[in-house]
């Protein structure tokens, strides 16, 4: 584990323009699910978002949501978000190393969480001095790239929110049809049973006009 | 020896493409699955490597399986410590990637590193640079231009999705209105039918 991390660090230096990010993956969280991402440079901005997508059985709109905890390689908690159904986050990495992003589901129903994590590095004067291939314009290009990445991240967030909205919408659509047709059938059944019961009350075989 | 080989492989992978190390913990038994919703006609590229936390030698191997939303298996590999797969999506929907530890008795937790890229991130800039003989800043600007185009495409996609959702919403809205009025109508019809039937019944029984 340690040697691989060193390999990662060496390669990071070789590639002067490095930006790490993942496509928006989804994990099913039963209790705790953790994802790890390696931050190469201290001071890198780690940004991202997550949205709880799966809500098949949704009886109360007051769902408590899940907890999100980010831990630094030293074990300190960098960020905590409790009881949310989707948030954006951003922080400056206090040190380089393996960061842990954990989702905690306090309830028994498994939830699907779609998340996106981006580690952005902008070369500063220290890097410029070390590597003669780096132009000052590379700094501007890195800033531009980070800005575009933030737009892309926002879009992934919107896409995940849209997916969740679509689930709710389709569920509402299905419920409208099934519940109203069920209601009609039950109504017809109830009136039929009422009539049958009243008939029986007045039927000759029970007792002659006992009612 | 295996660790060195693994590191060399990692090195080669890293030199070919920009690296992203997202790691997952594999439980000893059972599996870990990740899904992503991808739409049609998107290039997907992925690399995975297994590292054991406790420096077990040889590194425990895993089974990997990639499934399309309609159930087709796109990639299935057993007994591997590293691998890659690439495909272009034909179907819209959730793509599932699952990892199993091959031998549950090999102690220690496993970590799997996945480098998963879709769409614009999967583009091979090395070959573009060679073909068009551009390098350095021009290449970076090309990448930025491609990123902007991808953003534009995503926006259009989100717009069309919003239109679909709005359609369903409006249908639901009109249905709620009609079905509630219909339910009121059925209620009134049922009570009238009941009254009419019972009146006839009692008149026949000569109680009224």
**Residue B113 CA: distances (Å) to CA of A4, A8, A56, B116:** 11, 12, 30, 10
The mean of the pLDDT values for chain A is: 82
The model's pTM is 0.80
A22-49 pLDDT, tens digit per residue, is 678 888 888 899 999 999 988 899 999 9
Q: Answer whether B24 sits within 8 Å of A117, measured CB to CB.
A: no
The nearest CA of chain B is from the CA of A96 a distance in Å of 13
Partners of A23 on chain B (C-beta within 8 Å) are 36, 116-119, 121
Task: Give residues with Cβ within 8 angstroms of B134, minimum separation 6.
Answer: B128, B142
Cβ–Cβ of A169/B193 closer than 8 Å?
no
Lookup: tokens for B117:
């890229």
Q: Are B33 and B96 in contact (CB under 8 A)?
A: yes
pLDDT at position A3 is 56
Tally C-beta pairs within 8 A across A and B: 169
Locate the domains of chain A by residue range: 24-169
How close B194 comes to chain A (CA, Å)?
Answer: 7
Do B184 and A183 form a contact (C-beta atoms < 8 A)?
no
Query: Considering only CB atoms, which chain B residues are within 8 Å of A15?
Result: 14-15, 18-19
In whole angstroms, give the CA distance from residue B114 to residue A114: 16
Higher pLDDT among residues A6 and B106, named by residue: B106
CB contact under 8 A, B140 and A141: yes
Report pLDDT digits (tens) over A50-91: 998 866 656 666 667 889 999 999 989 999 999 888 899 999
Indicate which of B4, B10, B21, B93 best probes the interface with A, i.e. most A CBs within 10 Å of its own CB.
B21
pLDDT at A84: 87
Nearest to A4 among B7, B94, B201 (CB): B7
pLDDT in tens, A124-180: 777 777 877 777 888 889 999 999 999 999 999 999 999 889 988 998 999 999 999
Among A8, A114, A183, whose Cβ lies nearest the Cβ of B183? A183
Q: How far away is chain A from the Cα of B78, in angstroms, using its nearest Cα?
A: 22
Chain A residues within an 8 Å CB radius of B34: 25-27
pLDDT greater at residue A102 or residue B135:
A102
Q: Is A199 on the interface with B (CB under 8 A)?
A: yes
Q: What is the pLDDT of residue A106?
A: 86
Residue closest to A153 by CA, chosen among A17, A23, A38: A23
Closest-CA residue of A relative to B197 is: A195
- Cβ–Cβ gap A37/B22 under 8 Å: yes
Q: Is B175 on the interface with A (CB under 8 A)?
A: yes
The three-point CA angle B69-B167-A65 to 5° equals 60
Interface pTM (ipTM) of the complex? 0.80
Instruction: Report the topology of domain A24-169.
Output: Jelly Rolls (2.60.120)
Say which residues have a Cβ less than 8 Å from residue A15's Cβ, sequence separation at least 6: B14, B15, B18, B19
B192 touches chain A (CB under 8 A): no
**Contact call for residues A44 and A92 (beta carbons, < 8 A):** yes
- The pLDDT of residue A8: 40
DSSP H helices in chain A: 2-14, 125-130, 136-201
Q: What is the secondary structure of B165-176 as a DSSP string? A: HHHHHHHHHHHH
For residue B13, what pLDDT is reported? 42
> Is A195–B24 a contact, with Cβ atoms under 8 angstroms apart?
no
Please tell me the distance in Å from A194's CA to the nearest CA on chain B: 8
A109-120 pLDDT per residue, tens: 888 899 999 999
According to DSSP, the β-strands at A97-104 and B93-101 are unpaired
Q: What are phi and psi of B83, to 5 degrees?
A: 180, 170
Contact criterion met (CB < 8 Å) for A195 and B197: yes
Beta carbons of A99 and A37 less than 8 angstroms apart: yes
Nearest Cα residue in chain B from A37: B22
In this predicted structure, what is the pLDDT of residue B82? 87
pLDDT at residue A30, as a whole number? 85
Residues from chain A contacting residue B175 (CB–CB below 8 Å): 173, 176-177
How is domain B1-122 classified at the CATH fold level? Answer: Jelly Rolls (2.60.120)
Residue by residue, pLDDT tens for chain B (208 residues) are: 544 444 444 444 443 334 456 888 887 777 888 998 888 888 999 999 888 777 767 777 888 999 999 988 988 988 888 888 899 999 888 899 988 887 777 666 788 888 888 888 888 888 888 888 888 888 889 999 999 999 999 999 999 999 999 999 999 999 999 999 999 999 999 999 999 999 999 898 888 7
Q: Give contacts of A 136-195 with B, CB under 8 A.
A: 137-138, 141, 144-145, 148-149, 151-152, 155, 158-159, 162-163, 165-166, 169-170, 172-173, 176-177, 180, 183-184, 187-188, 191, 194-195
């Amino acid at each position: 584990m340690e040697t691989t991390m060193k390999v990662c660090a060496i390669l990071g230096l070789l590639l002067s323009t490095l930006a790490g990010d993942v496509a928006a993956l989804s994990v099913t969280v039963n209790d705790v699910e953790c994802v790890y991402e390696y931050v190469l440079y201290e001071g890198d901005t780690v940004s991202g978002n997550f949205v709880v997508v799966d809500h098949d059985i949704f009886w109360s709109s007051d769902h408590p949501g899940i907890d999100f905890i980010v831990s630094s390689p030293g074990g300190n908690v960098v960020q905590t978000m409790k009881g949310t159904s989707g948030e954006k986050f951003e922080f400056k990495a206090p040190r380089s190393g393996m960061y842990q992003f954990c989702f905690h589901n306090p309830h028994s129903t498994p939830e699907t969480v779609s998340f996106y994590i981006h580690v952005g590095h902008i070369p500063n004067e220290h890097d410029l001095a070390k590597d003669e291939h780096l132009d000052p314009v590379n700094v501007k290009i890195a800033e531009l790239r980070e800005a575009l990445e933030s737009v892309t991240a926002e879009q992934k967030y919107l896409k995940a929110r849209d997916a969740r909205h679509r689930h709710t919408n389709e569920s509402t659509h299905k419920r409208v049809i099934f519940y109203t047709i069920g209601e009609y059938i039950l109504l017809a059944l109830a009136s039929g049973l009422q009539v049958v019961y009243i008939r029986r009350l007045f039927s000759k075989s029970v007792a002659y006009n006992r009612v | 020896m295996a660790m060195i080989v693994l590191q060399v492989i990692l090195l080669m992978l890293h030199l070919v493409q920009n690296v992203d190390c997202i790691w997952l913990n594999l439980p000893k038994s059972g599996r870990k699955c990740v899904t992503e919703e991808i739409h049609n006609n998107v290039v997907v590229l992925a690399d995975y490597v297994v590292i054991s936390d406790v420096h077990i030698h040889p590194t425990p191997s895993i089974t990997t399986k990639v499934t399309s939303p309609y159930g087709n298996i796109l990639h299935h590999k057993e007994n591997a410590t590293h691998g890659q797969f690439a495909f272009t999506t034909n179907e819209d929907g959730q793509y599932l990637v699952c990892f199993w530890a091959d031998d549950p008795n090999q102690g220690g937790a496993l970590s799997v590193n996945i480098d998963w890229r879709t769409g614009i991130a999967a583009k091979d800039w090395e070959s573009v640079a060679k073909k068009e003989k551009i390098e350095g800043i021009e290449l970076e600007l090309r990448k930025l231009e491609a990123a902007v185009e991808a953003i534009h495409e995503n926006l259009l996609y989100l717009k069309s999705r919003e239109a679909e959702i709005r359609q369903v919403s409006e249908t639901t809205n009109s249905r709620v209105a009609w079905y509630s009025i219909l339910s009121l109508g059925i209620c009134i019809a049922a009570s009238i039918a009941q009254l009419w039937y019972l009146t006839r019944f009692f008149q026949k029984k000569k109680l009224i």
